[in-house]
Structure 1
């Protein structure tokens, strides 16, 4: 009796790119951007350099792939909870909760993004890739503040763009955590909310 031969599952191009992005992110965490080498990525994925260069033919293509994987992680997290119909203040709380979740469950994501942002300051090619991702995060807060101002839950004199920079700047500085000057994330959330919420004493 001849047994049927099971078809061999071939790895798709998308699967291979996912594996490359995961390997690159892991190496950035371990060695930083300065220590990221294409040969190390290829070895970790289990492919040769030629195959790696077929999928990511340049440094910019590799960084773009890593940035896309980070964006997908952020979008996946955002989509797990319904945001439709929420007030500006509720959306602000949800952003804070998302940030707390990332710190607890995805610390490597923060390390990789921080490395990319720092490198982008010195490399225009990387900045072109990373800046839109970072500005997308800032613009989410701009829309939250606009919504809260229109609803009357945030102070009416807030500049949404300045407020977005204040919040993202505070959170970015927290996740770097590279000096002894630190505080709990909950205390930071409390002070940020206090700075923007329209309290009853201000409504009069």
Structure 2
């Protein structure tokens, strides 16, 4: 009787790159960006250094891969619920809910994002990768505030760009709180919302 030979699934290039990105993100959470070493990434993925360098030959390529993986995660999250036909206020609340979900379900995303943004302030190469991604997030909020001004759910004198900076800054600050000076997420978002909504006449 002939025995069946075991079959092995060959990992695709995309799957390997996803594994590298996941390992790099986990190591950034554990050791910080300064402690990120290619040999540690290779060991965690189960590949040799040569194979790792084939997929990410430079530091910039590795950071780009990590940033792309986070961008794709955030995009998938946003696409799960349609924003079509929603008011500016409704979309703002959805963004708050998505951010809270990230804090609860994938807190490493916020940790890694914070690490990369801080490093980008001192590294032009990383800045060129992270700045467009970070600004895209801000532009999304600015669009929500413009919509809210137009549809009447926000005050007519709200400056969309300033409001976007205030909101994203507050959310990022909340995501990296490490002292006792803090409030609940609900308190934060309620106060932010109250700053922009059009109050009904009493």
With the shorter chain as reference, the TM-score category is over 0.9
State how far apart, in whole Å, the 1-side matches of 2:104 and 2:11 are.
Answer: 32
Count, aligned residues: 202
1:115-143, Cα deviation, whole Å (9 max, x unpaired) = 11111111010010011111111111011
Q: How does 1:180-195 map to 2 (within 5 A)?
A: 180-195=180-195
> Which residue does the alignment assign to 2:169?
169
Does the alignment pair 1:59 with 2:63? Answer: no
> Which residue does the alignment assign to 1:37?
37
> Which residue does the alignment assign to 2:100?
100
Unaligned runs of 5+ in 2: none
> Which residue does the alignment assign to 1:21?
21
Q: CA deviation at 1:58?
A: 0.1
Q: Give the TM-score normalised by the residue count of structure 2.
A: 0.97
Q: CA deviation at 1:4?
A: 4.3
Moved more, 64-73 or 79-88: 79-88
Q: CA deviation at 1:144?
A: 0.3
Q: How does 1:149-168 map to 2 (within 5 A)?
A: 149-168=149-168
Q: What is the DSSP-based 3-state SS (H/G/I as helix, E as strand, rest coil) of the residue aligned with 1:181?
A: coil
State how far apart, in whole Å, the 1-side matches of 2:199 and 2:6 are.
Answer: 67
> Which residue does the alignment assign to 2:146?
146
Aligned CA RMSD, in angstroms, stands at: 1.2
Moved more, 55-64 or 76-85: 76-85
Q: What is the DSSP-based 3-state SS (H/G/I as helix, E as strand, rest coil) of the residue aligned with 1:200?
A: coil
Q: What is the DSSP-based 3-state SS (H/G/I as helix, E as strand, rest coil) of the residue aligned with 2:136?
A: helix
State how far apart, in whole Å, the 1-side matches of 2:43 and 2:6 are.
Answer: 28
Q: Give the TM-score normalised by the residue count of structure 1.
A: 0.96
Moved more, 160-169 or 180-189: 180-189
Runs of 4+ that moved beyond 4 A: none
Q: CA deviation at 1:6?
A: 4.8
State how far apart, in whole Å, the 2-side matches of 1:50 and 1:36 are.
Answer: 17
Unaligned runs of 5+ in 1: none
> Which residue does the alignment assign to 2:87?
87
State how far apart, in whole Å, the 2-side matches of 1:140 and 1:111 are.
Answer: 21
Q: CA deviation at 1:185?
A: 0.9
State how far apart, in whole Å, the 1-side matches of 2:7 and 2:170 are.
Answer: 53
> Which residue does the alignment assign to 2:131?
131
Q: What is the DSSP-based 3-state SS (H/G/I as helix, E as strand, rest coil) of the residue aligned with 2:201?
A: helix
